[in-house]
Structure 1
Amino acid sequence: MSRTQPAVRTTTRRPSLGWPPRRRPRAHRRRERTAARGPWKRGPVFTACALLLGLLLLLHGALPDWAGLGSLVETFLPWFGLPVPVLLAGALWRRSAASGVALLLPVTVWLYLFGGLLGDGTHRGGDLTVVSHNVAAENRDPAGTARELAASGADVLALEELTDRSTGTYETELATAYPHHTVQGTVGLWSRLPLSDTRPVDVLWDTAGPSAGKPRPGGAPVEPPRGLRTTVATAKGPVAVYVVHLGSVRVMPRGGYWTEQRDTGATKLAAAVAAERAERLVVLGDFNGTLDDRAFDGLTAQLRSVQEVAGDGFGFSWPASFPVARIDQVLVRGVDPKSAWLLPATGSDHRPVAAAVGW
C-alpha cells in the first residue's frame, strides 16, 4: 500500500504594482525641493528679513513717529544688530546664497552707525574731569552715593533728580571736596573750582500754555527748574556748564510711546545752546533718550558726544542693574574730548557717567 504524499502548495509573490505609491518622509521631500531651487532661490523668508532689517537701520529717520514708534526704535537702535547672527544661521541652514548677500546690507549699515564705538577711543590727559549722575529721588542711601561720587576725583559733579530731603545730605557730604556748588530746583552742580554767572535754564514742558514755566504773579514757579547754567573758572580759562534733566518718557495705554515732555525740553535746550556765547561749553545730564533719537538732532548738530568720540564701547547707563541704553550724556563744544567711562553703580537706577576734556 503506497503512501500518498501531501500536496505541496507553492505560492508565487506577485511583483508590487506600486499602488498606492509609498510616500517619502516630508523632510526628504523638502530637501529635494530645496536642492532643485538652487542657492539663489533658497531661503526667501531669510532674504526678505535681512533686506527689511537693513532698510530699517538705513532709513530709521524716515519712520513715522506715530505713537512714538520712530523714537522707540531709535532708542534701542544698536540692539537691532542682534538679529544678524540669527539670520546668518538661517541662511547657512537653507544654504541660501541670496540670504547671505542680503545680510551684507544690515551688517554694513550697522557698522557704519556703530562700528566706531566698538574700539577704544580714549586718550590720556585732560584739563577738566566731569561726572553726571541721576541720583534718583527714591535713592535710600544718598550719603553713600555722595561719598562714591566724591571718590571719583572729578572736578565737577552734576546731579539730577534731587529732592528737598536729599539735597541737604549731598551738600553736607560733598562740602569738603567740593566747596563751590549751586542747586536750581531738582538739578545741582558741585565744583572744586569757583562758579559764577549761575542761572536756571528752562527745559520744562509747556503744560499750561504760553505762560508755563514762567513765574506766577506771586513769584512761585509752576514747577521746580530742571536745568541750570553756570561758568566754571579753570586755570586755562572759563567753561560754561549746563546741567539738565529732560522730561520723562512713558508708555501710555492708548497713546503709545509718549515723548512730548522730553522732546519739548530738548528743543528748548537746543535753543539755549545756540544762544550760548561761551567759547567752551559742556552739557551734562539725564536726557531720557539716546542720541540716535531724532528728538536730539538740534543738539547733535551743535555738540559732540564725548562717549562717541573718545569712549570705549557703548557706555550704556540705564538701568543700572542691566544697562541697555545710554540716556545720560556728556556733550561738548569748543573743547577736545579725551576720554569717557562709567563709574560703579550707586543706590540709583542710573550708572554715573564720567568724561575728561581738554583744550
Structure 2
Amino acid sequence: MTQVDSAETAQGGAGRRDTGSGAGRAGIRRAIGALSRPGAWKRGRVAATLALLLGLLMLLHARITDRGGLGSLVETFLPWFGLLIPVLLVGALWRRSASAVVALLLPVVVWLNLFGGLLGDKSRPGGDLTVAEHNVGADNPDPAGTARDLAASGADVLALVELTEQARGTYETELAKTYPYHTVQGTVGLWSKLPLSDTRPVDTQIDVGPLGATKPTDVKMTYNRALRTTVATDRGPLAVYVAHLGSVRLMPRGGFWTDSRDRNAQALGEAIAAERNEQVVLLGDLNATTDDRVLDSITSQLRSAQGEAGDGFGFTWPAKFPVARIDQILVRGVKPKSSRVLPATGSDHLPVAARISW
C-alpha cells in the first residue's frame, strides 16, 4: 500500500506541476492572443507615445537645450531613465496594447546601446600601477580614519580633493609612512610611492558660485583646485592631473546652475590638450558624468577607466545612496586593467581606484 500510495502521490504531484506549467503556457497564449487581436493595435496609444518619447529622449539627449542646465541634468541621470521601461511595459500589458509593446523596442535598444556595455565585468588581471581618487569632503568628521582606509587600499598614487586647511595636516601625517612623496596645491593633493617632479597648479578659473561661499563659514578653503605633476615609473614618466571642478547648484529661479563647472572643464580640457607626455591620467571629482556634454573637451582626449575595465556603473555620489559617477579616472596612453569603487569613508563621496598598464 505504501508503494502504491507513494506512486499515486508522485503522479499527483507531477500532475499538479504539469497543471501549473500548463496554466503558465495558457497565460502566455492568452497574452499573445490578446495582443494579436485587431483592437490591440488601437489601444494604449498614450503608453505607446510615452515609450517613443522616452526612446527619443535618450537617443537625442545631446540635442536637448542646456539653457538652465537642463541638458546637463538629463545627462547626469541618463542611465536611470531605463527604470521607466518596465513601468511602461506593465502599462502596455495591462492595456493589452500591441502598439505600446512594439514602441517599447525603441527605448530598450537605445538604452542597451548606451549602457549595455556597463552591465558586465570587464576587469582583467595584471597591471603596472594602481591609481586612486577620493573627494574626502570638507566636513568629513574623521579625516584620520579616511586617510588610514585609503592607505590600506593598495594604491600607488592617491589623489585627494576638497582638502581643507584644518584637515591637511592630518592627511599628511597619516599618509606619510605609506607615501613618501606628496604635493598639495590649494584644495587638491597627490600622494605617491614614486617620485614626483614638474609639479604646478593648473588654472581652471575657479570662482565662487552665485550663492557665495559653497562651504560652511568655519571651513576655510583656497580656490586653487587643480594640479599637474609627473610620476616617475619604471615604464617612463606619467603625467597626472588632479582636479576638482566647480560645484553644481539647483537655483530656485535660475534652474540647474553649472557655469563655474563648465568654465573649469573647458580650461582643464585645454590644459590636457597642451600636455606633451603621451601617458596621462586624470584623477578628480569632475562634478559631471562622462555622459555629460560639458566634459566633451576632456572625454574627447581621455578614456574612462570605469567604461573600459569596470564592473557596473560605478556610482560614487552621494555615498549613502549613489546615483551618479562624478568621481572619475580618465586615461590616455595607458590601458586600464580594472576599475572599482572603494568602501565608504567619512566623506559624502565614495573613493575610486583603477589598475593601469603600459
* Interval containing the TM-score (normalised by the shorter chain): 0.7 to 0.9
Q: 1:257-286 deviations in whole A, cap 9, x for unaligned?
A: 000000000000100010000010000000
Following the alignment from structure 2 to structure 1, what is the Cα–Cα distance between the partners of residues 178 and 287?
29
8 Å Cα contact 2:248/2:258 also seen in 1: yes
Aligned to 1:305: 304
Following the alignment from structure 2 to structure 1, what is the Cα–Cα distance between the partners of residues 36 and 258?
50
Following the alignment from structure 1 to structure 2, what is the Cα–Cα distance between the partners of residues 304 and 229?
18
8 Å Cα contact 2:338/2:356 also seen in 1: yes
Q: For residue 45 of structure 1, report the CA deviation from its aligned partner.
A: 0.6
Aligned to 1:179: 180
Confirm whether residue 282 of structure 1 aligns to residue 281 of structure 2.
Answer: yes
Q: For residue 35 of structure 1, report the CA deviation from its aligned partner.
A: 11
8 Å Cα contact 1:343/1:351 also seen in 2: yes
Q: For residue 204 of structure 1, report the CA deviation from its aligned partner.
A: 2.7
Tell me which amino acid in the other structure corresponds to 1:254: R
Following the alignment from structure 2 to structure 1, what is the Cα–Cα distance between the partners of residues 136 and 208?
25
Q: For residue 176 of structure 1, report the CA deviation from its aligned partner.
A: 0.5
Q: Provide TM-score, normalisation by structure 1.
A: 0.85
- Aligned 1:199-210 pairs, distance under 5 A: 199-205=200-206
Confirm whether residue 327 of structure 1 aligns to residue 326 of structure 2.
Answer: yes
Q: For residue 224 of structure 1, report the CA deviation from its aligned partner.
A: 3.0
Following the alignment from structure 2 to structure 1, what is the Cα–Cα distance between the partners of residues 222 and 173?
25
SS in 2 for 1:159: strand
Aligned to 1:241: 240
Following the alignment from structure 1 to structure 2, what is the Cα–Cα distance between the partners of residues 237 and 226?
26
Tell me which amino acid in the other structure corresponds to 1:344: P
8 Å Cα contact 2:36/2:98 also seen in 1: no
Aligned to 1:190: 191
SS in 2 for 1:314: coil
8 Å Cα contact 1:204/1:247 also seen in 2: no
RMSD in angstroms over aligned alpha carbons?
1.6
Confirm whether residue 39 of structure 1 aligns to residue 77 of structure 2.
Answer: no
Report which of the two structures shows the higher radius of gyration computed on alpha carbons. 1
Tell me which amino acid in the other structure corresponds to 2:81: F
Identity of aligned residues (%): 70
Following the alignment from structure 2 to structure 1, what is the Cα–Cα distance between the partners of residues 62 and 201?
32
Following the alignment from structure 1 to structure 2, what is the Cα–Cα distance between the partners of residues 224 and 207?
8
Aligned to 1:84: 85
Aligned to 1:152: 153
8 Å Cα contact 2:249/2:256 also seen in 1: yes
Structure 1: gaps (5+ residues): 1-33, 209-221
Following the alignment from structure 1 to structure 2, what is the Cα–Cα distance between the partners of residues 308 and 108?
19
Tell me which amino acid in the other structure corresponds to 1:273: I
Query: Is the alpha carbon distance of 1:257 and 1:343 closer, same or farther for their aligned partners in structure 2, counting shifts above 3 Å?
Result: same
- Aligned 1:1-359 pairs, distance under 5 A: 38-205=39-206, 223-359=222-358
8 Å Cα contact 1:204/1:226 also seen in 2: no
Following the alignment from structure 2 to structure 1, what is the Cα–Cα distance between the partners of residues 252 and 277?
44
Q: For residue 185 of structure 1, report the CA deviation from its aligned partner.
A: 0.1
SS in 1 for 2:40: coil
Tell me which amino acid in the other structure corresponds to 2:47: F
8 Å Cα contact 1:282/1:332 also seen in 2: yes
Over 3 Å off, 4+ runs: 34-37, 205-208
Following the alignment from structure 1 to structure 2, what is the Cα–Cα distance between the partners of residues 281 and 343?
22
Q: For residue 207 of structure 1, report the CA deviation from its aligned partner.
A: 6.7
8 Å Cα contact 1:288/1:328 also seen in 2: yes
8 Å Cα contact 1:143/1:169 also seen in 2: yes
Q: 1:14-70 deviations in whole A, cap 9, x for unaligned?
A: xxxxxxxxxxxxxxxxxxxx9996111110010000000000000000001121111
SS in 2 for 1:39: helix
Q: Provide TM-score, normalisation by structure 2.
A: 0.85
Q: 1:113-162 deviations in whole A, cap 9, x for unaligned?
A: 00000011001111110110000010111000000000001101100000
Give the helix-richer structure, 1 or 2: 2
SS in 1 for 2:132: strand
Q: For residue 223 of structure 1, report the CA deviation from its aligned partner.
A: 4.8
Aligned to 1:12: none
Tell me which amino acid in the other structure corresponds to 1:48: T
SS in 1 for 2:320: coil
Following the alignment from structure 2 to structure 1, what is the Cα–Cα distance between the partners of residues 222 and 245?
13
Tell me which amino acid in the other structure corresponds to 2:111: W
Structure 2: gaps (5+ residues): 1-34, 210-220
Tell me which amino acid in the other structure corresponds to 1:161: E
8 Å Cα contact 2:128/2:357 also seen in 1: yes
Following the alignment from structure 1 to structure 2, what is the Cα–Cα distance between the partners of residues 89 and 109?
19
Query: Is the alpha carbon distance of 1:199 and 1:93 closer, same or farther for their aligned partners in structure 2, counting shifts above 3 Å?
Result: same
Q: For residue 202 of structure 1, report the CA deviation from its aligned partner.
A: 1.1
Q: 1:211-268 deviations in whole A, cap 9, x for unaligned?
A: xxxxxxxxxxx95310000000011111000000000000011100000000000000
Following the alignment from structure 2 to structure 1, what is the Cα–Cα distance between the partners of residues 76 and 58?
12
SS in 1 for 2:163: coil
